[in-house]
Amino acid sequence: MSNTTLNIDQNLLHYILDTSVKESDVAKRLREKTMTLEMSRMQIAPEQGAFMGFIARLIHAKHYLEIGVFTGYSMLHVVEAMGKDASATGCDISKEWTDMARSYWEEAQISEQIDMRLGEATDSLNKLEDSLYDLAFIDADKGNYDTYYEECLRLLKPKALLMIDNIFWGGAVADEKVQDTDTKAIRALNTKIMSDKRVNATMLTIGDGLMMVQKV
Ligand SMILES: C[S@@+](CC[C@H](N)C(=O)[O-])C[C@H]1O[C@@H](n2cnc3c(N)ncnc32)[C@H](O)[C@@H]1O
């Protein structure tokens, strides 16, 4: 019994990963290949990928928007979970990383379901239709988080769900001595969301913190 969130040590984390994370063979290989890249820390954790797939199934998501695709691991989890009659839009500025993503999506036979928009996400989002998506995920440059949040509220259907990654920013949000641009942007958005009457929201202690936001 506990009335506080448990500290997850490495032993418990391995137990969670071994016991609960179901990952397709392609997802496992993509995650392991990404781990060899210099920027591997940008990839979401496997338990978060599994959770996002669970959420996609739970809400019967059929249209998914992802801002910040990198090598395609979170996209792979969600699209595999949504099934063959679903579609997704991805926004990223990196051709190199999203080309790598595309090769694994092809192996997983989900590539044709994903419309990748290369370029500044603010430009790509501008061109998308209102109230189209059931589920969205923000995981790109932190300075634009507030813009991405506002765009997602426009692009999501009523009652649809938005997930925002890195809301703890390695714990920096809780340390007032840290005043860099990215930390301030995340901190400001966290505060804004929790009093925003347009949404219901809660903070989840998974990975680097995941904000779950339902458009009302
Ligand atoms: C943290 S990674 C995304 C990780 C990914 N969701 C995963 O599961 O592996 C952030 C991504 O945002 C992209 N990005 C950064 N700034 C961007 C911008 N202004 N517009 C679009 N994408 C951007 C980067 O190229 C990078 O691939």
Partners of 118 in the beta sheet?
92
Mind giving me the DSSP string for 77-140? HHHHHH-TT-EEEEEES-HHHHHHHHHHHHHTT-GGGEEEEES-HHHHHHTSPTT-EEEEEE-S
Residues with CB under 6 A from ligand 1: 42-44, 68-71, 73-74, 91-94, 97, 120-121, 139-141, 144
- Specify the residue for token string 């991805």: 90
Cα angle value 160/28/106 (rounded, 5°): 70
Q: Which residue, judged by its Cα, is nearest atom 1 of ligand 1?
A: 42
pLDDT on residue 1: 67
The tokens describing 139, both together, are 């995981």
State phi, psi for 143 to the nearest 5 degrees.
-60, -25
pLDDT tens digits, one per residue of 168-202: 999 999 999 999 999 999 999 999 999 999 999 99
Q: Pick from 50, 56, 44, 136: which is nearest to 89 by CA?
A: 136
Ligand 1 geometric centre to CA of 57 (Å): 24
Domains of the chain: 10-215 (3.40.50.150)
Q: Which residue, judged by its Cα, is nearest atom 8 of ligand 1?
A: 74
For β-strands 210-215 and 133-138, DSSP reports them as: unpaired
Residue 81 has pLDDT above 80, yes or no: yes
Q: Which amino acid is at 62?
A: K
pLDDT tens digits, one per residue of 104-144: 999 999 999 999 999 999 999 999 999 999 999 999 999 99
Q: How far is CA 154 from the centre of its chain?
A: 18
Ligand 1 geometric centre to CA of 11 (Å): 30
Report the residue among 69, 95, 100, 127 best suited for mutation to probe ligand 1: largest number of ligand atoms under 8 A from its CB. Answer: 69
pTM for the complete prediction? 0.98
pLDDT tens digits, one per residue of 3-18: 999 999 999 999 999 9
Within 10 angstroms of residue 215's Cβ, the number of other Cβ atoms is: 20
Q: Which amino acid is at 85?
A: D
Q: Pick from 139, 136, 117, 135: which is nearest to 127 by CA?
A: 117
